Amino acid sequence: MFEGVIPALVTPFKENFDVDFEGIAKNLDYLEKHVNALVPAGTTGEAATLSYEEHIEVVKYVCEVAKKPVIAGAGSNSTKEALFLAKEVEKAGADAAMFVTPYYNKPNPEGLFQHYSRISQEISIPIIVYNVPSRTGINTTPETVKRLAEIDSVVGIKEASGNLKQVAEIIKLTPENFILLSGDDFMTLPILLLGGNGVISVAANVAPQIMQEMYQAFRSGDVGKARDLHYKLMPLYDALFIDTNPIPVKKALELMGLAAGKPRLPLVELNKEKTEKLRNVLSELDLI
């Protein structure tokens, strides 16, 4: 259920910055035949600037209209707030919930364990840990992940440390059925080679078919084809991080005629120079 190519969905906005629910449906129509699951209300979905009500409504809407499993973003640096969101996304119909490691307040390993342990006691759906030190200021070590994996409902981790040695150590230390998903598009193939299970992806919003072709090539044993597709996708990986995520991916979707809208402040729209670079990459991949 939680393997393969999993786009971290953008949250489209109207001109007045209200959530564009029709736009979400339009994007899902483009994505769903090529992906394995969906992640609404995460970093790429601008969860940081969604109100609690909007966050819950976005998750509920995706659960209602999607034909694929839904892993709902529900993280916070407050355990109390994470618990609130966890219960709400479970009620909304999510198949699992993903929790970013608490940011800014930087808990120690025991605090991290207690955070996830407490959440696991309050909800019945599976939990996926999200480790992204570049945003949170804290790294979830392999030893901590090993301990978290002993909690029955903690089924996996989205690993965005950028450290392949850490990825390998997590895979080595955790049970075979513990899921490790890349949190970085560029690292997808290397992580699959180490024994990972897929990717929660920004690029899959834009090029889901190519991403799925790469994943299926690897799974079928055609590593050469997977490698070729990895190199084909590299310019897109770079272009989608030419500015802070999700600024470039929203512009890419706009250029492709899909739903996006401008990001909410404090993020701003991609500038003209970077937009032209992004446009060229999309054109080279026959996406526009």
* Residues designated as active site: 130, 158
Contact 151, 117 (CB under 8 A): yes
Q: Residue 251's closest CA among 233, 273, 278?
A: 278
Whether 12 contacts 47, CB under 8 Å: no
Q: What single string gives the DSSP state of each residue in 137-177?
A: S----HHHHHHHTTSTTEEEEEE-S--HHHHHHHHHHS-TT
Q: Which of 174, 155, 176, 203 is nearest to 5 (CA)?
A: 203
| Cβ proximity of 148 and 176 under 8 Å | no
| Residue 121 Cα distances to 59, 115, 118, angstroms | 22, 10, 5
Q: Which residue has the tokens 């440390």?
A: 161
Q: What is the DSSP letter of 182?
A: E
Ordered DSSP codes for 17-81: S-B-HHHHHHHHHHHGGG-S-BB-SSTTTTGGGS-HHHHHHHHHHHHHH-SS-BEEE---SSHHH
